[in-house]
Amino acid sequence: MARYVPQFTLLFTLLISTVALVSLPLAAEAQMFRCTGKDGKKYYGQTVPPQCAGLPLEQLNKQGGVVRRIEGQMTDEQRAAKDAEAKKKRDETEAAKEESRRNRALLATYTSEKDIDEARGRALKDNHLAVKEVEARIGKITQRQEQLNKDMEFYKGKNKPPAKLLEDIKNAEIDIAAQRNLLNVKKKEVDTINAKYDDDKKRYVELTRRK
């Protein structure tokens, strides 16, 4: 048995040496904290320096690189400002995504500026036809009102007009008011249509010139 003792001693020594070597990096990787104090100075420590209490911290590795950032305690005003900034960034990101989507759709819809002009022409033509249709309906209602007014003349100084006649007169007034309102809307759409296609054409030119 005695002849095996040196081998056992050697194995034990190697095991201890290995553990010691493995432990070295762990010691070298001891954490370090850094912050900027309220006085503007930098403070360091293997534990959080007293000057860093409640302030944003950075955890460093042995090379001095930042491993982790730890937020400090914030006041209600600071938290509200941070939330507002985060919301602003989200809104800007969504706006950028929406603009990108619109640009892709625009380029997929038109192949030239001429396409845009032709689309504008079709939209204006459809609007013109819609205006004419509304004007025709107003004309018919006006004719009906004229006939109803003649019927009312018959009852002047005589018996009370029939309830049906009074109802028809009221309904005609409602109908013509609605159609006149619709006519105003359709006429104003001309400006909306032109503004839309002006914007489409401007963006199309800008996007195609970037290529």
Q: What is the pLDDT of residues 131-177, one digit of tens each?
A: 999 999 999 999 999 999 999 998 887 778 999 999 999 999 999 99
The rounded Cα 82 to chain-centroid distance in angstroms is 19
* Predicted pLDDT at 211: 60
Helices (H), the chain: 5-28, 76-109, 113-154, 163-210
Sign of dihedral through CA atoms 24, 28, 29, 32? positive
* Residue 28 pLDDT: 43
Residue type, 35: C
Residue 118 pLDDT = 97
Residue 80: per-residue pLDDT: 87
pLDDT of residue 57: 86
Q: What are phi and psi of 97, to 5 degrees?
A: -65, -40
Instruction: Tell me what pLDDT residue 155 has.
Output: 86
Query: For residue 104, what pLDDT is reported?
Result: 95
Q: Which residue has the tokens 């914007």?
A: 199
Smallest Cα–Cα separation from 200: which of 131, 108, 137? 108
3-state secondary structure of 45: strand
Close Cβ partners of 21 (under 8 Å, ≥ 6 residues apart): none
Q: Which residue has the tokens 């800008």?
A: 206
Q: What is the pLDDT of residue 30?
A: 63
User: pLDDT under 50 in the chain at which residues?
Assistant: 1-6, 8-28
Number of residues that make up the chain: 211
Task: Name 66's bridge partners.
Answer: 60
